[in-house]
Chain A
Amino acid sequence: MAVPGMALLGCGAREPHAAFDAANAPGPQFLTREELAFVDAAVARLIPGDAKEPGAREAGVATFIDRQLSGPYGLGQTWYLSGPWPTGDEQQGYQSRFTPAQMYRAAIGDIQKYCQRRYRKPFEQLEGAQRDEVLHGLEGGHIDLPSTSAKQFFQMLWHNTQEGFLADPMYGGNRDFAGWKLIGFPGPRYNYVTEIEQYGKPYRMPTVGLRGRDPGEREPD
């Protein structure tokens, strides 16, 4: 149902997504501004994007991660954190004493020191290829972080990045349904009784989130 006056926004190319401006964004709730800049620069490589096809930066994933770290997830509220904390094998899973918030703070501090030693610059000022080099190094455990496991931090960061790109926008990421539109997920809808038997037919209803519709999208004619 077209809304008069909104029609122009519905046709043709959408407004390009502005790059996330870490310096001027509304203040982070847990991360420092410098840590936020690191996270933003990292997620921009993990899921790259640009104005035409937004990636993690444009989708606000850094904001998402900051919000998560400032809440119950960041505090590890549901985790069993009691000691002692001997290390085990891979099958026994996460044995660190760190909550996610502590893990990010410790790891980012170590990684920045590493970048200063190796590149004479903080992570967020490195070229894309150099940032990829660092990320691969963390992923493979080739960069030694004094405070924590590089592999474990990388896995946490990568999972949180995917979450931020693909979770409901009300959590601060997936801005303007960027992630969902990329893949063709129409959002949480409750009734496909008719459509489920329309084999092979694309589903064209506007994207929705838990808080409502994308105001820019038109319904199909």
Chain B
Amino acid sequence: MATRLKEVDVVLVGFGLTASILAQELTEDRALQVLALERGPWRDTVPDFSTAWIQDELKYAVRKQMFEDPERETLTFRNSMDQRALPMRHLGSFLPAAGVGGAAVHWNGQYWRYQPVDFMLRSHVEQRYGKQFIPADMTIQDWGVTYEQLEPCYDRFEYMLGISGKAGNLQGTVQQGGNPFEGPRRRDFPNPPLKRSYPTVLFDKGARAAGYEPFPCAAANTSRPYKNIYGVQMGECTYCGYCEWFGCGNYSKASPQTTILPALRRKSNFECRTHCNVTRVNLDSTGRRATGVMYVDAQGREFEQPAQLVILCAYAQHNVRLMLLSGIGKPYDPVANTGVVGRNYAYQIMSSVDVFFKEIINPFMGAGALGQGINEFNTGNFDHGPHGFIGGGYIALWTTGGRPILQHYLPEGTPKWGAGWKKALAENYLKASSIQCHGSVMSYRSNYLDLDPTWKDAYGNPLLRLTFDYQKNEHAMSDFLTDKAVSIAKAMDLRSYHAKQRKGHYSIVPYQTTHNTGGAAMGSDPSNSAVNPYLQSWDVSNVFVMGSSVFPQNGGYNPTGTVGALAYWAVDAIRNRYLKSPGPLMQA
């Protein structure tokens, strides 16, 4: 029998990036009681990310200490509906976090805005190429919100994170040295770009020789000491090369710990409970109003936490699973093509070109978002007509580090093990890097999330089931990008290069990105969206859904920039409209 607790005004499910933003903004109203429930542990720069022990590749990158253990919760996976989905028993393709700060503790800090066209993708493609250009089973949609509406939110997020970068478009005027394709921004980034590593300088030279306009990629690694919009002080990145999958002990990677929590912790109207796993959102007898959430604590005791407003801030697909387990919104049925929850799941399609330099480039000096990129081949930036595919991506050489076990590149034809392997490793480690192609994935009728009929989590609830594969469109687009990356490699003065196209079915095994999107698509039409343009559930108006869960399809960029902008967008609507007059912010 669950213990019923005292009601709070707002409960946040999960305490990662979006929950930290919401908590910080909502608690500005000192009368509002906000509670965050995080199933992982408390974590902070001191002592958890201490520079004395954090650079332990085996513990964090190989054994995956910072992530959600499949033992507690995982998902089942299949490429298509005619197969049986099986459990993802180890982590591989993506790495959801567990613990305060969420995935924003262990990300690289690679930061992008989506372009205006990304938010109007269906309209744009229909207008420019005609309705018939879109395959019948591709379910891309407009977002219900525009870049112009989100611009101030991107700006706020950037000044909160302390992004290091160079503007490419200031109020409509293209700027030298920035991303010439980006949407207009009101002002430059808060910090200048990071220092250049040698491989990024060589990539820049090659990209220019190939006829493109490379620029320093925007980074959530601070290039200088910075005090952010909440008065929180960050340090200067020292290029230690242990960003992704590690916490930063230097206060120079943006995370909730380094940008929000020092300010939030001082507020008496905010509470966080850790080791509390929310198992469902409780609804009243009408099914149209949430009364709070159920959770299980570290000892296994069950609690009912009543709340006036419930905001799902868990990792992307976890939000969707909670909606399915709780009966929020109509579950998607791929055969009947009805329902919205679980629909429009997407991911990222990645490929690369390994490059082998003539001189040493010291790969171990780096930062998570230290990269030089080109954006000529992203969605909307070139004529797709002759190619027949939709979408695109950026191409960048990132020098994130040279961690020996997992970050070494060997030329094509190197023996898989033995004396030849050892020789190649010794000769190439200091002189190799990789150009990455970071491609979009569209949404399809056949790629979706639902509940598994067989396997359960540690609490006895059905696991989420993922049905997903790359389609012809994604492979065509990815091969196109890889070819463009090869053209840059050819223009660089290299010993050799090795193009690694993305081939075959999507596999859950090798790490690709932790960029899962969709399942609770946002939009202005409830027949194809689970939440409205303010991220409010169409069905249960006191439930909002944060994160990339709400993306109707995934663009050719790392999602975090847009995740943060949408969190600021939603919290603005919650503070200034919803809390003053609770109810649907938009009529269906």
What is the interface of chain A, defined by CB distance below 8 A to chain B? 45-49, 55, 72-73, 77-82, 84, 86, 88-95, 132, 135, 139, 158, 161-163, 166-168, 171, 179-180, 182-186, 188-193, 195-197, 199-203, 210
Contacts and interface: CB of A to CB of B under 8 A. Distances in A.
Interface string B34-59: 00000000000000000111011110
A184 B198 CA distance: 17
User: Which 6 pairs across A and B sit closest by C-beta, in order of nearness?
Assistant: A188-B55, A183-B429, A80-B70, A166-B404, A167-B58, A192-B365
A167 B425 contact: no
B76 to A, nearest CB: 9
B404 A81 contact: no
6 contacts: A90-B509, A91-B508, A183-B425, A183-B429, A185-B402, A190-B240
Contact of B430 (A86, A93, A183, A197): A183
B242 A188 contact: yes
B226 to A, nearest CB: 16
B55 A210 contact: yes
Contact of A192 (B240, B430, B454): B240
Contact of A95 (B57, B86, B454): B86
B487 to A, nearest CB: 24
B228 interface: no
Q: Is chain B's interface secondary structure helix, strand, loop, or mixed overall?
A: loop
A162 to B, nearest CB: 6
A6 B195 CA distance: 38
Interface string B225-242: 000000000001011111
Residue of B53, B77, B89 with most partner-chain A CB within 10 A: B89
Contacts of B361: 199-200
A93 B88 contact: yes
B505 to A, nearest CB: 5
A191 B367 CA distance: 11
| Residue from B62, B64, B454 having most chain A Cβ neighbours under 10 A | B62
Contacts of B87: 80, 82, 95
Contact of A132 (B52, B418, B506): B418
Contacts of B365: 192, 195-196, 203
Do most interface residues of chain A lie in helix, strand or loop, or is the interface mixed?
A: loop
Contacts of A88: 78, 83-84, 86
A182 B55 CA distance: 20
Given A80-B74, A81-B71, A84-B454, A93 B418 contact: no
Residues of B in contact with A, size category: 35 or more
Contacts of B405: 162-163, 166-167
A182 B57 CA distance: 18
A219 to B, nearest CB: 18
Given A93-B508, A163-B62, A183-B425, A80 B71 contact: yes
B421 interface: yes
Nearest to A64: B58
A193 B454 CA distance: 52
Contact of B250 (A167, A188, A190, A201): A190
Given A48-B422, A161-B417, 17 more contacts: A78-B70, A79-B69, A80-B70, A81-B71, A92-B86, A93-B92, A93-B507, A158-B417, A163-B58, A168-B56, A185-B429, A186-B364, A190-B249, A193-B239, A196-B197, A196-B362, A200-B198
B90 A93 contact: yes
Interface string B135-176: 000000000000000000000000000000000000000000
Contact of B238 (A93, A162, A191): A191
Given A91-B508, A92-B78, A47 B426 contact: no
Contacts, number: 170
Interface string B390-433: 00000000000010110010000000111101100110011000
Contacts of A82: 87, 455-456
Nearest to B421: A47
B418 A78 contact: no
Nearest to B65: A78
Contact of A79 (B70, B236, B360): B70
Nearest to B198: A199
B509 A93 contact: yes
B62 A197 contact: no
Which of B74, B92, B236, B417: most chain A CB closer than 10 A? B417
A15 B507 CA distance: 46
B360 A200 contact: yes
B201 interface: yes
Interface of B: 51-53, 55-58, 62-64, 69-71, 74, 77-79, 83-84, 86-92, 195-198, 201, 236, 238-242, 249-250, 359-362, 364-366, 402, 404-405, 408, 416-419, 421-422, 425-426, 429-430, 454-456, 505-509
Nearest to A82: B455
A161 B425 CA distance: 14
Contacts of B360: 184, 200, 202
Nearest to A97: B89
B454 A90 contact: no
Contacts of B364: 185-186, 189, 192, 203
B55 A190 contact: yes
Contacts of B426: 182-183
A210 B53 contact: yes
Contacts of A162: 405
B505 A91 contact: yes
A54 to B, nearest CB: 10
A47 B415 CA distance: 11
Contacts of A135: 417
B89 to A, nearest CB: 5
B240 A189 contact: yes
B160 to A, nearest CB: 25
- Among B86, B250, B418, B425, max chain A CB count under 10 A is at B86
A96 B301 CA distance: 32
B507 A91 contact: yes
A196 B361 CA distance: 9
B53 A77 contact: no
Contacts of A90: 507, 509
A193 B238 contact: yes
A168 B507 contact: no
B404 A86 contact: no
Nearest to B236: A193
B422 A182 contact: yes
B425 A94 contact: no
Contacts of B83: 88-89
B418 A92 contact: no
A168 B196 CA distance: 28
B121 to A, nearest CB: 28
